[in-house]
A and B are shown apart, each in its own frame.
Chain A
Amino acid sequence: GQNIDQPTEMTATEGAIVQINCTYQTSGFNGLFWYQQHAGEAPTFLSYNVLDGLEEKGRFSSFLSRSKGYSYLLLKELQMKDSASYLCAVRFASGGSYIPTFGRGTSLIVHP
């Protein structure tokens, strides 16, 4: 299977900026997603990258480098409600279909 690597846990201060990294195996790559999942809730879609570069959406930005198999999610002006698990997911082409593979998630704790 494909490995998606991201840090297990990160902590940050309210109002600060945090960057969550994600690395993956490049073979068969067909798009990268970031999801947010609060404890006990369903994941919600944050961003999608398929070309190299930065995608900005409000306080959240996501970056992709396909040649390096690397992405990051940047969260600015952190708020307490941003405390959640952040899931990096890569879609891989496999035998005519597309298989999404999720990382274990990065648990972000925002403290005052």
Chain B
Amino acid sequence: ETGVTQSPTHLIKTRGQQVTLRCSSQSGHNTVSWYQQALGQGPQFIFQYYREEENGRGNFPPRFSGLQFPNYSSELNVNALELDDSALYLCASSLKTGAVEAFFGQGTRLTVV
């Protein structure tokens, strides 16, 4: 058990809608990263939050946005959903930015129809 929890576990949305995914990081971890993992692919880095500030971003459009709260939990928001956004969304927390080991949650499986 990693202590990183994500909700919901599964979600179906219609193209054009907006979605919010949530992540509770492991106790004491102040850094949260979000990844998108398409079937048969490795995780793709979306962005990282450290102490409520975005601290690095991958090659994703601005309709992917996030928040980190004072308790270090985090949200990933995706606007104007596209069919290609269907994927497993993973959240990972670490003790600090640049930490060696990150702990992943079980992910949210998003299907866009």
Residues on A lying within 8 angstroms of B by beta carbon are: 1, 4, 31, 33, 41-45, 48, 87, 89, 94, 97-105
Contact = CB atoms under 8 A, between A and B. Distances in A.
Given A42-B90, A42-B105, A43-B90, A102 B98 contact: no
B47 to A, nearest CB: 10
B56 A99 contact: yes
B2 A42 contact: yes
Contacts of A105: 41-42
A55 to B, nearest CB: 11
A80 B81 CA distance: 39
B106 A102 contact: no
Contacts, number: 51
A1 B59 contact: yes
Nearest to B48: A97
Given A97-B56, A100-B33, 14 more contacts: A33-B100, A42-B2, A42-B90, A44-B104, A87-B42, A97-B57, A98-B97, A100-B45, A101-B45, A102-B35, A103-B42, A104-B40, A104-B41, A104-B42
B41 to A, nearest CB: 5
B98 A98 contact: yes
Contacts of B20: none
A45 B102 contact: yes
Nearest to B54: A97
Nearest to A48: B100
Contacts of B33: 100
Contact of B43 (A43, A45, A98): A43
